[in-house]
Chains A and B, each alone.
Chain A
Amino acid sequence: MLSVFPEQNLTSNLEDCALIWGKIGVTIDSFTVSPRDFPGGDIGELAICGSANDLAVRGVLPRFIAMSVVAEEGLHMAELSRYMKSAARICEDLNIQLVAGDTKVVPKGHVEGLFITTCAVGEQITEESLGMDRLQPGDKIIASTSIGRHGAAIGASRFNLNPENLKSDCAPLWPALKPLLALKGLRCMRDCTRGGLGTVMCEWAEGRNIGITLVEKQIPIRIAVQSICDILGFDPLYLACEGCAAIAVAPDDADRALGLLRESSLCEEAAVIGTVTEDHAGMVALQTEIGGMRVVDMPVGEMLPRIC
């Protein structure tokens, strides 16, 4: 898609949000999820958290949001109103101002229920721009919390599996990540949404042509998430997260970063999960629990549940 915008100076190393005019961060994302109400959240909450988190991981304070709603004819007003209240609650928590909006109703069958698009704008508060171009061999990779909870919760709901204690991690990241911005050794951050932690790692390794080695034992995965993965044949590395960031920091700042993260109730499970390396350039390796090594590759297509 980018090839038709050659003069826009866009590169394949696109980050979660663009930094324009020096210190302005801007991002846009569309949200469609089935079911729209899921354990731990709903599409309204997701639409605000998703875009606000895209800003937060680049050190950008979320300030304004514009929202476009495309609803299928027949969607109940009460349901839409509920999602808007969820969205408003997150905006209030983060002190984000809704500044523009649009609503379209399309004939039944033209969309599946409801699509919400949000465009978030904010103010970069770091001196230097955080981004994968800052990654260096030796950097430590941190997961801000346990991975895969959103994807597992959605998968469980979709296939009528409802384990107790399984909820989406959908949450605004700014309050937890803000203290990290003071660390000189903070390199870059990314929220692990569609494609999960594995995809973010692959994008970093391929984008910078560096190696990343993850240590399976150290990656926090809740039992409920692993159980859903075992039943459906999914790999938790690729399950979407909506309140988990991958964070790269200089090795000297890793302990401090962990300490700061764990002060937030959202990040009590934060852990160092790997290292940037000069070996296996462009490739992500996983040191497995039994001591083996294997590639973590980009996911292909939709994850489908196993047959038996």
Chain B
Amino acid sequence: MKYISTQKKAMSPFDREPGQIKASYTAHHVIEAIGQRLTKPLTFMEVCGTHTVSIFRSGIRSVLPPDLSLISGPGCPVCVTDQGEIDCAINLLDMPDITMATYGDMLRVPGTRGSLSERKSEGKDVRLITSAAQALSIAEDNPEREIVFLAVGFETTAPATAATILEAAEKNITNFSILVYHKQTPPVLEQLVKDPDLKINGFILPGHVSVILGHKAYRFLADHYGVPCAIAGFEPMDILLAIADLVFQHSNGESALHSLYPRAVRPEGNQKALDLISKVFTPCSARWRGLGLIPSSGYALKEEFAAFDALLRFGITIPTPKPPAGCCCGDVLAGHITPLKCPLFAAACTPMTPVGPCMVSSEGSCSAYYKYNRGGASPWKRSPSATEAADD
């Protein structure tokens, strides 16, 4: 059992090296320690899109040793939403009296027939919201319309959706339904770690998902598959410490799950949020953009809440269109290639003319590569060997 509890004592990579670095470590010290302890090329995956953006925004890639590669995983809710799911939402908007409410970047993701944003500019009623509760308020304020909440996100947003469903049921609101596109993080990580073509030497696990799930849901990665894991917050130092922890684990021959984010993550997670999820949803297979159908990786409404299922309510299904020609979002999400290897990157696919969701989303890895690295033309990019190592 290599799992180390953080309940009593916050784990830090430096706790095990008291003579090397003192408690007053700085970014410089951590970077130096990473360089000293890195003895072989390693590739770590940051699972979360917020981590991806923080890594690029803070220039972490530019200060890491060339033999240390970071690849971006399937942790951006926009990026993993399947094109068929977008098409389904757009088809729904063609029906009369539909108002669709959804979060941020979802508006711009292109489906086969354009994006929700384009439908909005044509006069369809598409609302930008920042919470599930706002969608329900819209329903209460507009009883003559059918309000459909396009619900995306991982374990972080699913509890709020569940709470909204319960509230809608309690208030007996009849003009409100949901396209449930929520996804679960652990199943997709298991699929990645089992992929023989992918050599991931460590996972930087998402802090906010871990706030909900706690530690237990990830144990299998270290215990069963022998992959070191570090739960990290979102400040640059949080991420650097997680990277240092993973490097230290390798140099010590360990594979454990460490939490570098004990100020927010309790080992047992958030039981109230987990109860909400289990009360309203049941696990189901879900289609991930570019990754295909993954068993038990999604959430479906339980039968007692079927009245709020937009698919049933409007008698529609989610189509399975072919992805846009040349788009490699699936390979990027799976960590098989970096965005620079996609033939469309910075050519046919740019933030102005995005082809795939990894370029649309502010937390997508293609968008981050483009925005913070000038499409690969930045003079501060890491050495070619590191980039190639991630692609091979």
Contact = CB atoms under 8 A, between A and B. Distances in A.
Given A233-B362, A286-B59, A307-B77, A294 B156 contact: no
A308 B58 contact: no
Contacts of A303: 362
B200 interface: no
Interface residues of B, number: 45
Contact of B236 (A280, A287, A288, A307): A288
B60 interface: yes
Interface of A: 159-160, 230, 232-233, 235, 279-280, 283, 285-295, 297, 300-301, 303-308
A295 B371 contact: yes
Interface string B17-50: 0000000000110010000000000000000001
Given A285-B380, A291-B27, A308 B156 contact: yes
User: Closest 5 CB pairs between A and B?
Assistant: A292-B59, A290-B27, A304-B104, A300-B351, A293-B380
Given A290-B240, A295-B374, A304 B128 contact: yes
B138 to A, nearest CB: 14
Nearest to B350: A300
Given A294-B58, A300-B352, 11 more contacts: A230-B234, A233-B50, A233-B53, A285-B380, A293-B59, A295-B374, A297-B372, A297-B374, A304-B362, A307-B103, A307-B104
Centre residue among B61, B234, B380 by max chain A CB count within 10 A: B380
Interface of B: 27-28, 31, 50, 53, 56-63, 77-78, 103-108, 128, 130, 152-154, 156-157, 208, 234, 236-237, 240, 351-352, 362-363, 370-374, 378-380
Contacts of B372: 294-295, 297
A287 B374 CA distance: 15
Nearest to B61: A292
A92 to B, nearest CB: 38
Contact of A297 (B59, B156, B371, B380): B371
B153 A308 contact: yes
A229 to B, nearest CB: 11
A307 B105 contact: yes
Contacts of B234: 230
Tell me if A's interface is mostly helix, strand, loop or mixed: loop
A301 B351 contact: yes
Contacts of B61: 292
A292 B77 contact: no
A232 B28 CA distance: 29
Contacts of B373: 294-295
Given A305-B104, A307-B104, A290 B31 contact: yes
Contacts of B62: 292-294
A289 B152 CA distance: 33
A287 B57 CA distance: 10
Contact of B60 (A283, A286, A292): A292
A290 B103 contact: no
A288 to B, nearest CB: 4
Nearest to B154: A308
Nearest to B371: A297
A285 B108 CA distance: 28
